[in-house]
Structure 1
Amino acid sequence: MSRISKLRTVPHFWWLFAIVLLLSGCAAGNHSESSAENAPISAFGPLTKNSQWYLSQIDSATSPEDRFALQVLAARRLILDGDRTQANAIQQQLAREATTPRQKVAVRLLNALQLGKQGQSSKALNRIAGIDLRPLDNNTVQFYYRLQSELLLRTGQKTAAANSLISLDPYLNGEQASKNQQQIWSLLKESDSNTLKNYVNAAERMKREKAAGWFELAAISKEAKGQQPLFADWQKRHPNHPATALFTPAAEPAQPAIAQNNQGITTTSDIQKVAVLLPLSGKLALPANALKTGLDQSNLASGNKLTFTYYDENSMPMPELLNKIQQNGAQLVIGPLQKNKVEQLFASHISIPVLALNQLDSQPAADNLYYFSLSPEDEAAQIAQKIHADGMKHPLLLLPSNSLGERTATGFNNYWKSLDIGDATVAKFRSRDELQTVLRQKLGGTAASAHAGEVQSLATDPANDPNRIDAIFMLASPFEASSIKSSIDIMLGASPVRPAYYLGSKSNSSGLRADVALALNGMQLGDMPWMLNKMPDELAKANTVLPQASGDQLRLYAMGYDAGTLIPQLSELRQNPEKTINGLTGILHITTDGVIMHDLLWTRYASGQLTTNEPEPATTPPAAQPAQ
C-alpha cells in the first residue's frame, strides 16, 4: 500500500471507531433508561400522583404484579383522600386477585390503613398482627412499621409506638433517619420507668441490642440522680448508638430546694389562705373540676373558714406560678395534680407547706411536704396488705396486659416482697381466650400445659400443701369477675379446696344484674366507703353539684373533699401517725414522711348483696376543725 493510501486509511478508521462508540453509548443509555422503566412498581412507595392517574396506568402495565401495585397505590390515595366507596371497591378486587404472600399482606395493610382512618385503631392493629415481614420489599416494611407506630400512638401506647420506629430505623438514612430518631426519643421520654425496664428485658431476650439501648437510655434519663455514671457505662456497652446525641446526663442535683426548708413542721390549724394548682385547661380540665368541686364543698361544710384561690397549673412555668402564689400571700399550696408538674414544684423554691395531689417514684421527704393520691399502686398495696392480714401466703393476680395491669402488679409486689414470704404469682392476659389458657396453666393440674407445676394445682393438692394458691385477686369488671370465678369453679370440679377471692375498686359497680351479683358471692371487695354507698347523704350532695359525674369523677370529688377537710389537721396528724379521721376516700392517717393514707373499706358479697366486713366509718365526715 502506498504512503498516500495509508494516510487516508488511518483517519477513516478512527472516524468509523468514533461512530461505533457513539452508537454504543446511545444504546447503553437507552438500555439504562429502559431498565429503569421496566423496574417493578412499588405498591408502598411514595404517593406522588392522584388516584385517577394510578388507575389510568393499569391497562398499560406490562405485568400482573405492576397492575396489582397500581391498584394498591390508587387505593392508598383514595383512603387518604377519604373516598371510602371507591377505596372499598378496589380493596375487594385486590382481595380476589391476591395470590402471593406479598399481595395478601398488601390487602391486610390497606384494610388496616382504612380502619385507622375511620378511628378503629385497635381493630387495625389486630388486622396487621402476625404479619411475616421476611418476604416483603423495603418500601412495604417501612410502610408497615410507620402504620403500626401511628396506630399504637392513637391507642395511647407510646412506648410500643417507639418500639416500631426503632424497628424502622435501619431502613432509613440521612434526614429521614434523624427525624425518626428524634421521634423515638420524644416518645420514650414520655414513658414511665417500669414500662421502659420491661422493654429492656424483652429486647435483651430477643437479642435486639440497639432497641435495648434505646429503652435503657430512656430509663436512665428518668433517674433522679446518678445519671452521669450510668450514662458512661451505657456508652461503653452501646458505642455509636444513634441515641447518644439525643441525651445529656443531668449534673448531680442538689437536694430539691423545697426540701431544704426543713425548719420543723409548720402548724396548719390557723391556715386561711390556700392556693390550689389544678389543670383547669386541657384534657384534664373535667377531672380537675370534680376535684375542685370537692374542695369547695368541704370548705362549705366547715363554714367557709378557708379562702381558696385557684391557678391553672398549665398556664405558665412553675417558678412563675409559685412566685405569683407567694406574692398573693398564700399560706399553703394544694396541688399540682400532674406528675410532671409535681416534679417541677419539687425543684423550685417555696417555703410554705405543700399538699401535692400526686406521688413520684422517688420523692423528697421534707417537713412541710405532704402527698395525697389515688394511684393504682397504692390501692394494690392495700389489697396485698388485706390478703396477708387474712393469712394468705400464695396469691395469684389476674391482670389485664396493659399499663394499669403493670402499675397494679408493681404496687402489689412492692408490698408483698417486703414480707419476705416469696413472690406473688402474676398472670396477665389480653383476651378471654388468653385468660382461659392462663387459668388452665395455673390451676389445671400437671397435664394441663407445659407450665403446669410452676404453681401447684388447687384441684389435686390437699389443703395443707404449702405451695397451693390460696387467694386470687382480679383486676376486672363485675361481669368479668363473675365469669372468671365460674371458669375456675368448673376447672376445680368437686375439689373442696377453694381460693379466697379479692376485688378492687374497678369491680365496684351499681345496678348489677341479679345473676352477676349472685355469681360474686363470697368475694371480698375493697373501695372508698362512699363509693360503697356507706355515706348516702354526702353522695346525694355530690350528685346535686355534679349531676353528670362518672365513677372516676366521684372519686376525685372525694379526694378534693378529703384534702380540704385535712388542711387544718395536717401537722397534727403527721406528728401523730396513729391518729385517724374518717373521710370519703377511707380512714385517713398521715405517715411521718407526709404521705396521706386512705384505708379502703372491705365488703363481701353475700346473697347477691355487699355486706360490710369491718366496722363502718361515721356516716358523715367531720367538718374541718382546727387541731386542739
Structure 2
Amino acid sequence: DETALANNREALWQSLLQMTPQALDLFNPGYPPSEDSGWFALAYNIKAYQSNPEVLQVALEDWARTYPNHPADPAIYKQTLEAGTFIPKDVDDIAVLLPTTGPFVEAAAAVKEAIIAAHFASNSTAQLEFYAIESDPLTGQSNVISQYDKAVASGAKVVIGPLQKSSVEQLAKYPDLPVPVIALNRVDSDSQTYSNLYQFGLAPEDDAESVAELAKLKGYKRTVILAPTGDWGQRIAKSFTKKWQSLGGSIIYSTSYDENDNDFRETLIPLMGLDQSQQRYQSLKSSLGRSMEFEPRRRQDIDFLFLVAKPLKARQLVPQLKFHRSGDLPILATSHAYSGFVDPQQNIDLNNLVITELPWVYSTIAEQDPVYIALQDQSPQNYMNNIKLYALGVDAYRLVSELNTLSRDTQAQMNGASGILSVSEQGHVVRHLLTGKFEEGELKLTQ
C-alpha cells in the first residue's frame, strides 16, 4: 500500500531528525550504500551542516550521487530544508528597524544599546545599519515596509525588528519576504506561518506556558487561578489555561481580583474553599445542637495555586493567601510578580513564592556573560530597569547566527539571555524560562 509506505518513511524520517549528528553517524549501517544507510546519511548531512548552507548544498549533491534511486530523493527532505531559512554563515550586513518617535522610543533605545554591545563583543566584521521606523499618529501605519525594502536594497542579509506590534503586522502581510526578519514582537495569530518572518519578543504567554510546564514537571495535576481583571491578567490566565489543559492538567476554580483593592478577603475565601469549610461547620453544629472548636480548613482538591500579579499586588496577595490558610500549598507565578530588584526587606513577603524568570535576572548566570557586564558598567543606574529589554536585544543579535539551525529543528535550543530559545513550526521564537524561589526575600535559582 503506497500510502502506508509513505507514512512509514515519513515516520522514519521524523525519528532520524530527533537524533544528534553523532548518533546518526554511529548508527549508520555504512557501506555498501543501501536504502537504510541513505536515510541515516541524509539526516546526518542536514543535522550536521544546517547552519552552513554552502557546505550543506555540497553534501546534499554528494548524497544524491551516492544514492541515485533513494526514495528520499528529493521530495521528503525538500520540506525540511524549506521549513527553515538560509542566512549566510558570515553575515556581512545586518539591518535593525527600531522606532525613533512615539511610546516605544525608550524601549527601542535599550534594545539598540544591547544589540550594539552584543555586536562589539562578538568581534564581528558585519555592518550594523539602523533604520528609523516612524508611525503616522492618525492611521497608526508606519514606514516599516519602505524601510525594510531600503535595507534589502542596501544589501542586508537579515533584519532585526521592528519593535511595535502594528509594524510586525504590516510586515506579516508582505508576500514572501526576501530576507529573513527577526521581529521583536508578535502578531496575534498562533497558528499561521509567515515565510521568513520569525516572531520574537517578551510575550507574557511565554511566562504563562513556562509555569504550566513547570507544574507538569513537578507532577501537579489540579490548580486554581487567581488573576487580575482586565486584558493583561486575563490574557495570561487564558494562555496558562490553554497550555495547562493541553498538558493534561485540570482547573478546579478560577477567579479575578481588582488591582485597585488592597483587601482581598472576599476573593480569597471562596478561592481557598473556606466558605465551604464554614458551611460544613454550621451544618455539623446544627445537627449536633451545640458549638464546637472550629478552625477553617482550605480546600484539599488542588496541588498548587497559579497567581498572576504585578510586584506590589504580589507582595500583598502572598501574605493574605497565607492568612487565608494556603499553608504549604505551592504558589506559582509568572515573572511579572518580581520587580527584578534585589531588595530582601521589600521582597520578604514573597517568601516561598515560585516564579519562572529569564536567565539574566539571576546574577549567577548573568555575570558569566561579558555583554551583561558591559551593559552594567555602561548604565549602572538603568541596567536593572532595562534588564529584560537588554536580554531581548542581545538574544535578537545572537539569533542571527543560530537561526539556520533553530528554524529547521524545533528540538534545537539556544541558551539565551531572555530564556532557553527554540523556534516553533510557526516561526515563533519560544522562550523557556528558569525557575526561582524566594527565600529570605531573595530570588534563588532552583534549577
Q: Which TM-score applies when normalising by structure 2?
A: 0.68
For structure 2, list consecutive stretches of 5 or more residues without a partner in the other structure. 1-81, 136-141, 280-294
Tell me if structure 1 keeps the 8 A contact 2:350–2:441: yes
In structure 2, the residue corresponding to 1:310 is in which secondary structure?
strand
Match of 1:60 in 2: none
**What is the distance in 1 between the residues matched to 2:223 and 2:269?**
16
Instruction: Decide whether aligned partners of structure 1 residues 264 and 582 sit closer, same or farther in structure 2, where only a CA change above 3 A counts.
Output: closer
On the 8 A contact 2:83/2:407 being kept in 1, the answer is no
Deviation at 1:556, TM superposition (A): 0.9
Q: Deviations over 1:109-149 (max 9, x none)?
A: xxxxxxxxxxxxxxxxxxxxxxxxxxxxxxxxxxxxxxxxx
1:555 aligns with 2:388: yes
Q: Is the 8 A contact 2:118 2:371 kept in 1?
A: no
Q: Encode CA deviations 1:479-524: one digit per residue, 9 max, x unaligned.
A: 543432332233228xxx631111322222324243x544433221
2:172 is matched by which residue type in structure 1?
Answer: F
Task: Provide the residue aligned with 2:13 in structure 1.
Answer: none
Residue 416 of structure 1 contacts residue 424 of structure 1 at CA under 8 Å; is this kept in 2?
Answer: no
2:396 counterpart of 1:568: no
SS at match of 2:264: helix
Structure-to-structure mapping, 1:319-338, within 5 angstroms: 319-338=145-164
Distance in 2, Cα, partners of 1:407 & 1:461 = 27
Counterpart residue type for residue 237 of structure 2: A
2:352 to 519, 522, 530: 522
Pair 1:611-2:441 in alignment = no
Matched residue SS, 2:324: helix
Counterpart selection for 1:300 from 120, 125, 130: 120
- Cα deviation, 1:213-252, whole Å, max 9, x if unaligned, reads xxxxxxxxxxxxxxxxxxxxxxxxxxxxxxxxxxxxxxxx
Give the alignment partner of residue 375 of structure 1, picking from 191, 195, 203.
Answer: 203
Distance 1:422 1:292 in 2: 42
SS in 1 for 2:182: strand
| CA deviation string 1:66-85 (max 9, x = no partner) | xxxxxxxxxxxxxxxxxxxx
Amino acid in structure 2 at the alignment position of 1:279: P
Q: Residue 34 of structure 2 aligns with which residue?
A: none
- How far off is 1:589 after superposition? 2.2
- 5 Å-filtered alignment, 1:485-564, equals 485-492=318-325, 498-508=328-338, 509-514=340-345, 516-534=346-364, 535-536=366-367, 538-549=371-382, 551=384, 553-564=386-397
Q: 1:441-481, CA deviations, whole angstroms, 9 ceiling, x for partnerless residues?
A: 111131669xxxxxxxx96478xx5xx13212223355543
Aligned partners of 1:324 and 1:519: how far apart in 2?
Answer: 52
Q: Deviations over 1:50-71 (max 9, x none)?
A: xxxxxxxxxxxxxxxxxxxxxx
| Greater strand content | 2
Q: Which residue of the partner structure matches residue 416 of structure 2?
A: 583
1:140 is matched with which residue?
Answer: none
Within 1, Cα distance between the matches of 2:319 and 2:216? 25
TM-superposed CA distance for 1:413, in Å, is 1.5
In the other structure, the counterpart of 2:71 is: none
Q: Which amino acid in 2 is paired with 1:376?
A: P
CA drift of 1:530 comes to 1.2
Query: Do the aligned residues in 1 keep the contact of 2:264 with 2:320 (CA within 8 Å)?
Result: no
Q: Which residue of 2 aligns with 1:385?
A: 213
* Alpha-carbon contact 1:393-1:470 (below 8 Å) kept: yes
Answer yes or no: is the 8 Å Cα contact 1:354–1:370 preserved in 2.
Answer: yes
Query: Conserved in 2, the CA contact under 8 Å of 1:299 and 1:305?
Result: no
Closer/same/farther in 2, CA of residues 333 and 448 from structure 1, 3 Å limit: farther
Q: 1:521 is matched by which residue type in structure 2?
A: N
Q: How much does 1:550 deviate? A: 6.1
Of the structure 1 ranges 560-569 and 588-597, higher mean CA displacement relative to structure 2 is found in: 588-597
1:440 aligns with 2:274: no
SS at match of 2:219: coil
User: How many Å separate the matches in 2 of 1:447 and 1:423?
Assistant: 20
Does 2:227 align with 1:394?
no
The answer to whether structure 1 residue 476 and structure 2 residue 314 are counterparts is no
**Aligned partner of 1:353 among 180, 189, 193:** 180
Q: Are 2:86 and 1:266 equivalent residues in the alignment?
A: yes
* Gap change, CA 1:275 and 1:319, over 3 Å in 2: same
Counterpart AA for 1:352: V
Over 3 Å counting, the alpha-carbon distance change for 1:335 and 1:441 in structure 2 is same
Deviations 1:153-181 (A, max 9, x none): xxxxxxxxxxxxxxxxxxxxxxxxxxxxx
What is the DSSP-based 3-state SS (H/G/I as helix, E as strand, rest coil) of the residue aligned with 1:432? coil
Asked whether the 8 Å contact 2:121–2:371 carries over to 1, the reply is no
Secondary structure class of the residue paired with 2:256: strand
- Separation in structure 2 between the aligned mates of residue 290 and residue 544 of structure 1, nearest angstrom: 14
**Contact 1:264/1:367 (8 A) holds in 2:** no
Q: Which whole-Å CA distance do the structure 2 matches of 1:289 and 1:424 have between them?
A: 44
1:213-252 superposed matches below 5 A: none
Find the aligned partners of 1:380 and 1:552 in 2 and give their Cα distance. Answer: 22
How far is the alpha carbon of 1:331 from its aligned partner?
A: 1.2
Q: CA-to-partner distance for each residue in 1:197-218, whole Å, 9 max, x for gaps?
A: xxxxxxxxxxxxxxxxxxxxxx
The answer on whether the counterparts of 1:445 and 1:460 sit within 8 Å (CA) in structure 2 is no
Q: CA contact under 8 A between 1:336 and 1:358: conserved in structure 2?
A: yes
Root-mean-square deviation over aligned CA pairs: 2.8
Residue type matched to 2:178 in 1?
S
What amino acid maps onto 1:277 in structure 2? Answer: L
Q: CA deviation at 1:292?
A: 0.9
CA contact (8 A) 1:268 1:567 kept: no
Q: Quote the offset at 1:280 in angstroms.
A: 1.8
Shift of the 433–263 alpha-carbon distance from structure 1 to 2, 3 Å rule, reads closer
CA distance in 2: counterparts of 1:320 and 1:394, whole angstroms? 50
Q: Aligned residue for 2:193?
A: 365
Give a deviation string over 1:515-570, Cα, whole Å, max 9, x none: x5444332212211211223135443213333442645221111010111110110
Give, in whole Å, the separation in 2 of the partners of 1:375 and 1:527.
Answer: 13
1:427 matched to which residue of 2? 255
Higher RCO (CA-CA < 8 Å; seq separation 6+): 2
Q: Give the deviation of 1:284 after TM superposition.
A: 0.9
- If each structure's helix is expressed as a fraction of its own residues, which one has the higher value? 1
Q: Mark the CA change 1:567 to 1:487 in structure 2 (over 3 Å): closer, same or farther.
A: same
TM-score, normalised via structure 1 length: 0.50
Task: State the Cα distance separating 1:424 from its structure 2 match.
Answer: 6.0
Query: What's the CA shift for 1:336?
Result: 1.4
Question: What is the total number of aligned residue pairs between the two structures?
Answer: 338
Q: Distance in 2 between matches of 1:521 and 1:433?
A: 19
Question: Distance in 1 between the 2:96 and 2:296 partners?
Answer: 55
Contact 1:471 1:501 in 2 (8 A): yes
Displacement after TM superposition at 1:421 (Å): 3.7
- In the alignment, the residues of structure 2 paired with residue 605 and residue 386 of structure 1 have an alpha-carbon distance, to the nearest angstrom, of 16
Give 1:407's aligned amino acid.
R
Change (3 A) 1:361 1:477: closer
Residues 96 and 161 in structure 2, CA contact (< 8 A), matched pair in contact too: yes
Deviation at 1:576, TM superposition (A): 2.8
Give the AA of the match of 1:384.
Answer: A
Contact persistence 1:475–1:503 (CA under 8 A): yes
Corresponding residue for 2:138? none
Aligned partner of 1:592 among 405, 408, 425: 425
**Mapped partners of 2:303, 2:393: distance in 1:** 37
- Structure number with greater Rg is 1
